[in-house]
């Protein structure tokens, strides 16, 4: 894992802990589910389970948390602003990782294709 993966894990872990704290204080089940979702994603990221899928699911999941908070009238304003700042940063990091890994996979795929026996035969090299 790179430092960006660890940053994403830290951001997701932080917002997960905030949601579990809010569940503990308010006993509101969606907070429990969101907190467990973020912490499960951190675990999956660390063990290397299809990271691009995690990014693709994590971006809308995190964005949904922001939208729901706004629609609910921004309760727990100070904690909410801090948590949503973390979530915006998480979305940016996940989007960057998604695009960077996609580009790396494409570049790797092109290198493999150009070095394949069929490509060598076709180019005469």
Residue 36 has pLDDT above 60, yes or no: yes
Q: Which helix (H) or strand (E) holds 34?
A: helix 29-47
**Do 91 and 63 form a contact (C-beta atoms < 8 A)?**
yes
Place of tokens 């995690």: 54
Dihedral of alpha carbons 33, 37, 39, 40, sign: positive
Write down the pLDDT at residue 123: 39
Of 100, 102, 93, the closest CA to residue 10 belongs to: 93
pTM here? Answer: 0.84
Nearest CA to 37 out of 101, 90, 92 is that of: 90
Delimit the domains of the chain by residue range.
3-99
Q: Round the average pLDDT of the chain to a whole number and report it.
A: 89
> What is the structure's pLDDT at 117?
44
User: Mind listing the pLDDT tens digit for each residue in 85-99?
Assistant: 999 999 999 999 999
Average pLDDT over residues 9-28: 97
Quick one: pLDDT band at residue 107, thresholds 50, 70, 90? Answer: confident
Q: Is the pLDDT of residue 106 over 60?
A: yes
């Amino acid at each position: 894992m790179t430092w960006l993966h660890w940053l994403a894990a830290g951001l997701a872990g932080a917002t997960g802990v905030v949601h579990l704290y809010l569940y503990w204080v308010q006993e509101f089940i969606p907070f429990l589910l969101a907190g467990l979702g973020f912490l499960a994603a951190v675990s999956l990221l660390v063990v290397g389970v299809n990271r691009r899928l995690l990014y693709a699911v994590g971006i809308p999941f995190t964005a949904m948390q922001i939208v729901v908070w706004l629609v609910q009238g921004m309760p727990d304003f100070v904690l909410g602003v801090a948590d949503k700042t973390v979530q915006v940063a998480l979305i940016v990091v996940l989007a960057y990782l998604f695009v960077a890994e996609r580009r790396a996979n494409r570049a790797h795929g092109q290198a493999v294709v150009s070095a394949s026996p069929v490509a060598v035969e076709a180019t005469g090299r």
